Copies of this chain bind each other. A is one copy, B any other.
Amino acid sequence: MQRILSTELAGHVDETVTIAGWIHRRRLLKSVAFLIVRDAAGLSQVVVTDPATREQLEQLTEESVVEVTALVTANEQAPRGVELTAPVVKELSRVAVQLPFELHRPTLNAGLPAQLDHAALALRHPSRVANLRIAAAAAKGFRAALEAQRFVEIHTPKIVESATESGANVFKLDYFGRPGYLAQSPQFYKQLMVGVFERVFEVGPVFRAEPSDTARHLAQYTSLDAEMGFITDHRDVMAALTLTLKGMLGEIGILEDAVRSEIPAVHFSEALRIAGAPEDEPDLAPAHERALGEWALREHGSEFLFVTGYPMRKRPFYTHPDPADPTWSNGFDLLFRGLEIVTGGQRLHRYEDYVAALQRHGQPLEPYAGYLDGFRYGMPPHGGWAIGLERFVARLTGVANVRETTAFPRDLHRIAP
């Protein structure tokens, strides 16, 4: 018999159907036994009175996998108004060990290390499932919104020749007998691909050999990158990001209306003033970001706020300066509820500007040869952004640790499972 999902039961009252899933909970009372079966869609209640079936259930502990063929019976007290009666239970896979923690409680009764050690089990808990579904929806919304704006998906190398972009914190590997490094971002490649498609995006892993063990850092995370050509300045990038963010939140199904058609923006120098910071501060501290978040909500009724024009000296060498005053950049951050969740901006696009910028940063040209080559061959004004998927989901859901938003996190201490 064709299996149906738990959510489809209500449409089959008084019919015999087959469901399948994990034994989420088993309650063996004196005269009756209840089985809660969990499938990808939800939970079903199975009522067992037959002594032989009850005996069978005594062997099947929580998380065993079963197929249940039974009569769908209306019962107002049961989930979604239906339960399954007179079941025939077929065992698909039996759990023979004690579970390290229970899944049927509202919160997981285990510390985060134990959850991560047994990720294959912990990830089945509804709270973890919800976070991973949000991550999947965010990536789907990101792609769909960009494709609607003519962006083309690319796949770029994760093994690179030089430890360039931020120098330190890079994983080194043996590449056929010579050194190679894991890419910290697709930055250089997505810029080169603007020369091919004008507008590109990539959803993929990036790697940071981050030596600090915090609730915000992962050694591998999923970066949502976009880059676009033929812009006037960073404001075109901010407009494309705004549309994309709206698409992402729409796909997730929350907060879509919180994204205005134009998100409020303040210049960095104004942001310092609002946050009450000294006017020579080169960057925004977490407390400043929080103050700006409160200000944006109070003054503009917006949970999102762009801060533009960060000082050139704090931005990477490929950042385009503000033509009106090259102390400031055409770079921006997007704050969400007082925390930076996106970094972006306009990039340099002329070869000679790159050569000058690297010299100013005291960097040799040679490690950047393959990247700079592309700018010799004609590149339009362009810019883009990167969103860290896990941090974005953490901020949306309010979970305290970014490790709870990804399936199998990697950090300073953890390389398994």
A interface, CB within 8 angstroms of B = 3, 20, 22-23, 39-40, 63-65, 92-97, 99, 118-121, 123-124, 128-129, 132-133, 135-136, 139-140, 143, 147, 150, 152-161, 171-176, 178, 180, 182, 189, 192-193, 195-199, 203-205, 207, 209, 211, 219-220, 222, 230, 349-351, 369-371, 373-374, 376-381, 389, 406-408, 410, 412-413, 415-417
Contact = CB atoms under 8 A, between A and B. Distances in A.
Nearest to A157: B408
A155 B138 CA distance: 12
Contact of A152 (B136, B173, B180, B415): B136
Contact of A155 (B150, B199, B205, B379): B205
Nearest to A67: B230
22 contacts: A23-B378, A40-B150, A63-B377, A65-B378, A65-B380, A94-B378, A95-B377, A96-B351, A118-B373, A118-B377, A120-B370, A120-B377, A121-B373, A136-B153, A155-B406, A157-B410, A158-B158, A158-B207, A161-B415, A178-B415, A196-B407, A371-B417
Overall SS of chain A's interface: mixed
A124 B229 CA distance: 14
A374 B124 CA distance: 11
Contacts of A63: 377-378
Contacts of A196: 123-124, 128-129, 132, 407
Contacts of A230: 3, 20
A23 to B, nearest CB: 8
Contacts of A158: 158, 205, 207, 220
Contacts of A93: 349-350, 378-381
Given A64-B378, A211-B176, A230-B20, A159 B132 contact: no
A209 B139 CA distance: 29
Given A93-B350, A153-B140, A416 B370 contact: yes
A377 to B, nearest CB: 5
A152 B176 contact: no
Contacts of A193: 123, 407
Contacts of A160: 415-416
Contacts of A389: 155
A209 B176 contact: yes
Contacts of A176: 209, 211, 219, 412-413
Nearest to A135: B155
A97 B406 CA distance: 46
A369 B118 CA distance: 11
Contacts of A408: 156-157, 189
A366 to B, nearest CB: 11
A235 B166 CA distance: 49
Given A93-B379, A119-B192, A140-B143, 8 more contacts: A120-B370, A154-B407, A155-B222, A158-B207, A159-B220, A159-B410, A171-B174, A173-B173
